[in-house]
Structure 1
Amino acid sequence: MSSNQAAYQTFSAQKQQAAAAFLERGRPAAFFRAYCEAAETLLRALWQPLFDGSGLSLLATGGFGRGELYPHSDLDLAIVAPSEISDGLQEKISAFVQTLWDMKLQPSVKSGSIAELCDSAAQDITGDTAFLEARFLCGNPEAAAKLLGDTAAQRDVAGFTEAKLLEMHQRHHKSQGSGAVLEPNIKSCPGGLRDIHTMLWLAKAQGLDTAPSALIAQGILTRSEAVMLIRSYKQLAALRIHLHLCAARAEDRLIFDLQGQVAESTGIGDDSLRRKSEKLMRVFYRTVKTVTRLNGILLPMLQGRIYSPLQHARFPIDDDYVQINNQIAVFDTEIFRRNPRHIFKIIQHLQARNDITALEPQTLRAWWAAARHIDSGFYAHEDNRRRFVGFFRNGQGLTHVLRFLNLYGILGSYLPAWEKIVGLLQHDLFHVYPVDDHILTVVHNMRRLALDSHSHELPFASALMQGFPQQSVLYLAAFFHDIAKGRGGDHAIEGIADARQFAADHFLSPEEADLLAWLVEDHLLMSAVAQKEDIQDPDVLRAFCARVKTYERLVALYLLTIADIRGTNPKLWNTWRASLLESLFHAAARYLSGSGNNARAVFSLRQQEAAELLTRTGAPEKQQKKLWQALGSAYFARHQTREVLWHTANLVHDFETPLVRSRILPESDTFQVMIFMPNGPRLFARLCRIFSRHGFDILAARAFITEHNYILDTFIVQIPAQHAPDDYPNIQSALEAELNSFIHGHTVLDQQSYGYRLSRRSRYLAIAPSVTITQEEDYPGWYTVDVIAVNRAYLLADLAEVFFAHDVSLRYAKIATLDERVEDSFIVYGPSLENPKHQQALKQALSEQLVV
């Protein structure tokens, strides 16, 4: 065995011992120390035979330089020469680096003369940062010392600081989006390890000792801040070590595949309320919030030590506060401790002034230190409660205020119910934000509806919001609608008590309190009815309006529903879902006004409007009557006016020949498709299979059988996201061509579902499927079948095949596709389901299709 092989075997054994000790004791510092020592011993053993007496120096840089080497991180090194490196030495360097690669150490090596490396550092902020925390390993110590001295001397501290802050902001911006929230990068996400490194880099660049005790002595950190920083660093570092060990590779993202493994590795298990992956992510989100809080204080302070911006404006606000540029400061930082009412008073000033955007760093530090002691006594003080509810009554800057209070933990201290949802993530395949962030996004969406500058986004909803007299109640409803999540019961019911207690304590009128409590209780009502039920059914509309009762509550619920859906997952809000809600709103508004609560009149009106249109287009009255007879009276009960007009205009002259029509819905990525053809076996399933084969998501489907036994099926399908609007006409033509071939018997489709691939999220965080079969009251043989499952290609077609196999006629399908989750509702006719065995067999067969 060669000396290199022996050295590597020793290194591997030491690395394994370090990993085993970490898994047993969970101490990241001990792991780093042991692993770095093993790596250094190996490097010296490899270095000496090649470079002894060469004048070269080997430095550890980057993470290795600061002694933070993760199991599968790059090995950051610099090889330094006093002068230009000769060809012979260059060959040895190449051999040295190749040996490291052969040992799978992932070396990242910079080499060159002192002058060359200094020039490289001057041109590259990343390289300069690497040398900032470099340390000598072996070789020529004088060359190493000169390089580090020269790079420090040439470093423009102000320029370095601004570059690192810009780099951080760019990194944060790149980390936005739901994917980053669901699968965050421990190293680079906002509040992650890189943010801690940035704080320490800025301090080190200023010549400060970055040991926590030294930072306390130098006034950079308070003792409590140092404790929080150390704890947060340990938590994130431990998670990253566990992640590398579980993945067996350099993986810094908490991806779905690994969240459960990492949770288990850290000792977190499932319980009756939460998955272990959800519990792990909650720990992570709370930790990065703490780092972000510290960043908000320390980075401006470190930046301010280098230079002070010109104070263009400094003037008193009152006896306690002064404005300095765009920041608010106190004359005496002890004011928050002496008089805690100022904890909310300064936020009141922040909200009221457009020209103030932040708290001055020392003021923020004093404010946060005092705010961490908020207790029931603080809540009991009337001034504090009036100021808190005043944030909602004012409305201006509300989102900024609430996010600021949440970031620094004040919402959780003031309202214990809020503390329970901070960092709480739901792995249900459609929520993508922790509950507290989701709620604040919903408040943000509601606030945008109130601003005229955003009216172009949703003009109708904005007009309703801007005319609503109790906007503060809508903000509070957005704030409280999910506050009871994670307690194990129905969060809508559990939240009523929280909302009513808040209303009583914060001086809401009885009318405001009633509206708030009702909105919290029924905040899911409109979404559920619009997406899961047939709003053309008079019984459905009547039941909905019985819950809503008044037009004012209808408006409030409509606005809250829009804000909620848009704040749940960016993929959920689309023009089709918007049109469903708006259709339900208008139908309910007519009903509540008394003009739409006569079902017969509504159906008659639809037929009358269709007849008027057909007459204007020259269709003979005799032909119209034949069409009405063929469609049957139930047709007008099951279709909206706009569908009736579209169908009948296409069918009036010939309702015996198969027909396909489609249209692109305005300003959307959806097609509406009608298929008219003689009835036959498995038609609905086979049509669904065609749509799935083209990559369409079926958002809604209505299966209707005419009096002369033709199907008139109507689908709303969403175009795959990769296509641009310019592609839509070609996609439409291709789809119509295949459907035309099918209705004329030229396309043969088997029952095979073809291949489909579930996302990693669906595979590793799959929800429990559910099938519920409910008999329709007063309608023998009719049933509602509700399905909740992971979304996949061909799912609707496969479910339709099951209905056919069990002699159940599918008459209506209400499809709700919520990102990677489906909540579908079917109205079926099947007299055989009165037999419990037949009903159980259908349920079992449907359930088998839902297993992923």
Structure 2
Amino acid sequence: MLPTRAARSKSRTPEPAAPIADRQAIVSGTRLGAELDALVAEHGTGDALRPAVIAAVRAALATGRDEVRARFEAGGLGEDCVRQNCYLADRIIQTLAQFTVTHMFPSANPTLGETFDIAATGGYGRGELAPFSDIDLLFLLPYKRTARVEQVVEYMLYILWDLGLKVGHAVRSVDECIRQSKADITIRTAILESRYLWGEGGLFADLRKRFDKDVVANTGVEFVAAKLAERDTRHRKLGDSRYVLEPNLKDGKGGLRDLQTLFWIAKYLYRADSVDDLVGARVLLPEEAQRFAKAQNFLWTARCHLHYLTGRMEDRLTFDVQAQIGARMGYTDHAGTKGVERFMKHYFLVAKDVGDLTRIFCAALEADAKRPPKFNILRLTALTRRRDIEGFVVDGERLNIHSDSQFRDRPIDMIRLFHVAQQNDVDIHPNALRAITRSLSAIGPRLREDAEANRLFLEILTGRKDPEVTLRRMNEAGVLARFIPDFGRVVAQMQYDMYHVFTVDEHTLFAIGILHKIEQGLLKDELPLTSEVIHKVVSRRALYVAVLLHDIAKGRGGDHSVLGARVAEKLCPRLGLTAEETETVAWLVRWHLAMSFTAFKRDLEDDKTVRDFVALVQSPERLKLLVTLTAADIRAVGPGRWNNWKATLLRELYHRSEELMSGGMTAEGRERRIRIAQRKLREDLPDFDDPAFEHAANLHYPAYWLSFDTDTLAHHARLIRMAEVEGRALTVDTRIDRARAVTEVTILTADHHGLVSRLAGAFAASGADIVDAKIFTLTNGTALDVFSVQDAASGGAFEQGDKLARLSVTIERVLSGQLKPLQELANRKTVLSSRTRVFHVPPRVLIDNNASTTHTVIEVNGRDRPGLLYGLTRALSDLTLQISSAKIATFGEKAIDVFYVKDVFGLKVTHEAKLAQVRERLLHALADPEGAGAAALHRPRTRDKAATVKKPKPMDAAD
């Protein structure tokens, strides 16, 4: 129930939590005022005075700021820093106001209309001022503006602006404030937070009195609803998650604004000016108030460091500042975890605390105070009728508890509450959530080993009704982490890179939600294969548990797949899974990256690749489980991480593996498929007579026939015939494939040394990213190269007419020698932003002679950049290596490129001296293009044979 008017205490200016030590060292208003008086005596009030006043105030401001910063950087708290900055601003404004009315616009006997008060509003009104935050002022008038008041206000504001302060202001009468605050919730909030600064004080006192009587009284429901709606809108604009990896400290979910929302509501309803007041009003328990205070101080400390580090008002905790702020706040590397990851994990846990407290507080107020006006009396009567469901009370269409001690008396009810809510499609009452928060310690070993509790949890996880919603509620309430401690270890666990968008627990919950959507058929267009396969899966429970556990061992300093499998072996029997299901879950967790690794980093045209993968998977059931888990995992990494190229590669690996398991990838089967492809092509080329078709077919080696569909084979045949008839030295053909969001570029030209590298350079110089390429040399010595490219800027198809025209010209100029790709790339060099520059990607070259029966496999890791593929292919060509195929992958800022190569004799590269040379040259190519690596790219190259380059962008192995 809302507090009554009589229960509200008299409005007062909040006192600081503790006195500011040695305030005179920050600023002395008396001393500054005397200094300004002396300037008047020296210069008079003429033109020479203003610059002198600005210089004096600027010096006092700079001294005060330096003192506050020095105290803070010596180990001070954020809450002290913002109060000290506020005190500094108070004294500057008060002294300036007194100086202005005394010396610049004096009035021996000012009329009532010439009097005014100054109040602080916004965060400044709360007594909180970050180092570079705005200062919001309200010049409060008795009724209308007078010339003198306008002169005073104008003079003060121009002085403050000249000092470099960001000052927002309003000049209003008391009547205007009341009228506008009734109509505008933002103005109402500003006045709610207002704090007296300067003046006789009568106007401000009148404003507070009338505001309380005319605005606040009987409008608590309206205000709470508006602030909660405002909060929800703000959250949606910023992604509606508190676990984004570059959070907004102020406006993000779980940030300072959420705390301020709580204060606004508390002050509006209870006239509370501090967290202690909320304890006194029995809104929070003392331990909850302590969590609140700690969270607020942590956020203020981080925000003050952010302001000082960037030198401006900045609220986004971007990658380039996270490590520095973490170090300043004392977070160091240890136990296999980076200091920055420990700092960010603490931030996310604080954000979760803020969410817990504000949700309980705000939802409780909403539940008690808010009754939507659209409900009629009969509906209200029905809602207020309490009924019992499986030991819980339905209160206002929300599931509630019978008593505050229910969870402590029966801890299993903390699991049953979510199970019942899921089964009956009802929300959970905030009172029940609060009771859970206060009873979490009751979730211990006894409950974790309780067979019924584990049965309920497994039904929640594998239920036909969206498990993500219920599991997210359990995670927010802290139940999931307590019931499964291994999951608790990854709550708020981040990875410091540009690829992962969410924390591990958020990613896991998103993956479970995506799995549910796949099963419900909601992602048929985006994930057609898995949407079909999932309904053929026998081990459904094992699949859901595997998704829950696939990343559960991250952050432990070892291979999370191996460690996670061990967790699964122990946890699955506890949850009630059979021995067979446990084995399946452990296998899926251990190898959950295997399919994406194979599809994205190995040549699927190499039979050994598929055979090795099938030897690992062994059964069609595991294949179905793994492809579904892989798709859900990648899709849940973040926006844009799943695309049609990933789908194509996974689908290709799935079908090849399925075919091998059924005996279809034998040598005889391959010859049969080639004959079928040629027969279908013959039917699709009625305009070719038999000699012409035979000539066209004899131009290609066997590998070509299984690389394209019939329509593309026919398109190539006609392009080749036209080129021969017209005697073209170069043919560049483009086709836009919007279904795959790529542009297919087919190039016919004479084969020569370094052609692949030159073409890669031409694409890079044109702003096109290669996402797939199939490159063949025909029997007549002609190169047939088919590239699928995307716009590097937008990630979509490279389809604009002017860009396509420039691409064709660029290819022709590069092949003719008129344009040097390296020079063009240097002219168009993209400067890494400070956000991305902070990530260090150590260059690495791994050489494997066991992954293929016929090729040496070289894996290259380094920072992704425009033209990297060009540089690497040229480096390999310079070493007289033939590139047979390659996979190009990007993980955020990290490039992982895999090349299948042979030496000049068509054999594996086995000589140690040659292998050492390969490593050295590729490391040079990976280096900064302005450094030593650039020189290595100028050497002549040889022709890369029969390459298949596939570059999904952005590419990843799910994790």
Q: Scaled by the length of structure 1, what TM-score is found?
A: 0.94
Q: Secondary structure of 2:119's partner?
A: strand
Match 2:916 to one of 834, 840, 844: 840
Question: Given the superposition, is the C-alpha separation of residues 829 and 707 from structure 1 closer, same or farther in structure 2, using an over 3 Å criterion?
Answer: farther
Q: Is the 8 A contact 1:330 1:363 kept in 2?
A: yes
Equivalent residue number for residue 144 of structure 2: 84
Equivalent residue number for residue 145 of structure 1: 205
Question: Given the superposition, is the C-alpha separation of residues 850 and 744 from structure 1 closer, same or farther in structure 2, using an over 3 Å criterion?
Answer: closer
Q: Is the 8 A contact 1:392 1:475 kept in 2?
A: yes
Counterpart residue type for residue 520 of structure 1: V
Separation (CA, whole Å) in 2 of partners of 1:778 and 1:760: 40
Report matched runs for 1:255-274 at 5 Å.
255-271=318-334, 273-274=336-337
Q: Is the 8 A contact 1:614 1:649 kept in 2?
A: no
Q: Secondary structure of 1:839's partner?
A: helix
Match 2:64 to one of 4, 14, 29: 14
Equivalent residue number for residue 166 of structure 1: 229
Q: Shift of the alpha carbon at 1:344?
A: 0.5
Q: Is the 8 A contact 1:75 1:108 kept in 2?
A: yes
Tell me, yes or no, if structure 1 residue 35 matches structure 2 residue 85.
Answer: yes
Counterpart residue type for residue 138 of structure 1: W
Q: Is the 8 A contact 1:674 1:714 kept in 2?
A: yes
Q: Is the 8 A contact 1:809 1:830 kept in 2?
A: yes
Tell me, yes or no, if structure 1 residue 660 matches structure 2 residue 732.
Answer: yes
Q: Is the 8 A contact 2:416 2:456 kept in 1?
A: yes
Report matched runs for 1:56-67 at 5 Å.
56-67=116-127
Equivalent residue number for residue 331 of structure 1: 402
Equivalent residue number for residue 828 of structure 1: 901
Separation (CA, whole Å) in 1 of partners of 2:796 and 2:495: 32
Instruction: Calculate the aligned-residue CA RMSD, in Å.
Output: 2.7
Separation (CA, whole Å) in 2 of partners of 1:329 and 1:566: 35
- Cα displacement string for residues 207-231 of structure 1 (whole angstroms, at most 9, x for unaligned residues): 3324222211212112222121111
Q: Is the 8 A contact 2:292 2:357 kept in 1?
A: yes
Separation (CA, whole Å) in 2 of partners of 1:262 and 1:664: 47
Tell me, yes or no, if structure 1 residue 704 matches structure 2 residue 776.
Answer: yes
- Cα displacement string for residues 250-273 of structure 1 (whole angstroms, at most 9, x for unaligned residues): 111112222122112112233473
Match 1:527 to one of 589, 592, 596: 596
The 10-residue stretch of structure 1 (755-764 or 172-181) with the greater mean CA deviation from structure 2: 172-181
Equivalent residue number for residue 165 of structure 2: 105
Tell me, yes or no, if structure 1 residue 809 matches structure 2 residue 882.
Answer: yes
- Cα displacement string for residues 42-62 of structure 1 (whole angstroms, at most 9, x for unaligned residues): 112111122356521111111
Separation (CA, whole Å) in 2 of partners of 1:424 and 1:769: 26
Report matched runs for 1:537-548 at 5 Å.
537-548=606-617
Equivalent residue number for residue 363 of structure 2: 300
Q: Secondary structure of 1:751's partner?
A: helix
Match 2:188 to one of 106, 114, 128: 128
Separation (CA, whole Å) in 1 of partners of 2:275 and 2:807: 69
Separation (CA, whole Å) in 1 of partners of 2:787 and 2:526: 27
Q: Shift of the alpha carbon at 1:756?
A: 2.0
Q: Shift of the alpha carbon at 1:243?
A: 0.8
Q: Shift of the alpha carbon at 1:633?
A: 3.5
Q: Secondary structure of 1:714's partner?
A: strand
Equivalent residue number for residue 181 of structure 1: 244
Q: Is the 8 A contact 1:572 1:819 kept in 2?
A: no
Q: Is the 8 A contact 2:608 2:853 kept in 1?
A: no
Q: Secondary structure of 2:776's partner?
A: coil
Equivalent residue number for residue 673 of structure 1: 745
Tell me, yes or no, if structure 1 residue 693 matches structure 2 residue 765.
Answer: yes
Equivalent residue number for residue 417 of structure 2: 346
Tell me, yes or no, if structure 1 residue 55 matches structure 2 residue 124.
Answer: no
Separation (CA, whole Å) in 2 of partners of 1:764 and 1:635: 44
- Cα displacement string for residues 737-769 of structure 1 (whole angstroms, at most 9, x for unaligned residues): 337735984853343223123344431123323
Question: Given the superposition, is the C-alpha separation of residues 151 and 98 from structure 1 closer, same or farther in structure 2, using an over 3 Å criterion?
Answer: same
Q: Secondary structure of 2:822's partner?
A: coil
Counterpart residue type for residue 691 of structure 1: F
Separation (CA, whole Å) in 2 of partners of 1:706 and 1:775: 28
Equivalent residue number for residue 957 of structure 2: none
Tell me, yes or no, if structure 1 residue 251 matches structure 2 residue 311.
Answer: no
Q: Shift of the alpha carbon at 1:634?
A: 4.5
Separation (CA, whole Å) in 1 of partners of 2:680 and 2:84: 86
Tell me, yes or no, if structure 1 residue 798 matches structure 2 residue 867.
Answer: no
Separation (CA, whole Å) in 2 of partners of 1:540 and 1:372: 51
Separation (CA, whole Å) in 2 of partners of 1:686 and 1:107: 57
Tell me, yes or no, if structure 1 residue 405 matches structure 2 residue 474.
Answer: yes
Match 1:773 to one of 847, 856, 861: 847
The 10-residue stretch of structure 1 (490-499 or 53-62) with the greater mean CA deviation from structure 2: 53-62
Q: Shift of the alpha carbon at 1:76?
A: 1.6
Question: Given the superposition, is the C-alpha separation of residues 645 and 512 from structure 1 closer, same or farther in structure 2, using an over 3 Å criterion?
Answer: farther
Q: Secondary structure of 1:225's partner?
A: helix
Question: Given the superposition, is the C-alpha separation of residues 459 and 616 from structure 1 closer, same or farther in structure 2, using an over 3 Å criterion?
Answer: closer
Q: Is the 8 A contact 2:759 2:814 kept in 1?
A: no
The 10-residue stretch of structure 1 (21-30 or 252-261) with the greater mean CA deviation from structure 2: 21-30
Q: Shift of the alpha carbon at 1:242?
A: 1.0
Q: Secondary structure of 1:788's partner?
A: strand
Tell me, yes or no, if structure 1 residue 597 matches structure 2 residue 665.
Answer: yes
Separation (CA, whole Å) in 2 of partners of 1:635 and 1:776: 25
Q: Secondary structure of 2:252's partner?
A: coil
- Cα displacement string for residues 100-141 of structure 1 (whole angstroms, at most 9, x for unaligned residues): 111122111111222223333333322221111211111120
Equivalent residue number for residue 756 of structure 1: 830
Where in structure 2 are there 5+ consecutive unaligned residues? 1-34, 40-52, 103-109, 373-379, 929-959
Instruction: Name the % identity.
Output: 28
Equivalent residue number for residue 235 of structure 1: 298
Tell me, yes or no, if structure 1 residue 682 matches structure 2 residue 751.
Answer: no
Q: Secondary structure of 2:439's partner?
A: helix
Separation (CA, whole Å) in 2 of partners of 1:653 and 1:109: 73
- Cα displacement string for residues 422-474 of structure 1 (whole angstroms, at most 9, x for unaligned residues): 11111233111111111111111111011145545434322222343332222
Separation (CA, whole Å) in 1 of partners of 2:243 and 2:472: 19
Q: Secondary structure of 1:675's partner?
A: strand
Q: Is the 8 A contact 1:422 1:435 kept in 2?
A: yes
Tell me, yes or no, if structure 1 residue 279 matches structure 2 residue 342.
Answer: yes
Q: Shift of the alpha carbon at 1:562?
A: 0.7
Separation (CA, whole Å) in 2 of partners of 1:315 and 1:534: 64
Separation (CA, whole Å) in 2 of partners of 1:561 and 1:304: 41
Question: Given the superposition, is the C-alpha separation of residues 307 and 675 from structure 1 closer, same or farther in structure 2, using an over 3 Å criterion?
Answer: closer
Report matched runs for 1:320-719 at 5 Å.
320-354=391-425, 356-357=426-427, 359-594=428-663, 596-618=664-686, 619-636=688-705, 644=713, 646-648=715-717, 650-651=719-720, 658-719=730-791
The 10-residue stretch of structure 1 (502-511 or 48-57) with the greater mean CA deviation from structure 2: 48-57
- Cα displacement string for residues 598-619 of structure 1 (whole angstroms, at most 9, x for unaligned residues): 1342244124322431254133
Q: Is the 8 A contact 1:412 1:419 kept in 2?
A: yes
Q: Is the 8 A contact 2:608 2:852 kept in 1?
A: no
Separation (CA, whole Å) in 2 of partners of 1:455 and 1:440: 20
Counterpart residue type for residue 901 of structure 2: V
Where in structure 1 are there 5+ consecutive unaligned residues? none
Instruction: Select the structure of larger CA radius of gyration.
Output: 2
Q: Is the 8 A contact 2:242 2:352 kept in 1?
A: no
Separation (CA, whole Å) in 1 of partners of 2:851 and 2:655: 27
Q: Scaled by the length of structure 2, what TM-score is found?
A: 0.84
Question: Given the superposition, is the C-alpha separation of residues 177 and 220 from structure 1 closer, same or farther in structure 2, using an over 3 Å criterion?
Answer: closer
Q: Is the 8 A contact 1:100 1:107 kept in 2?
A: yes
Separation (CA, whole Å) in 2 of partners of 1:396 and 1:175: 28
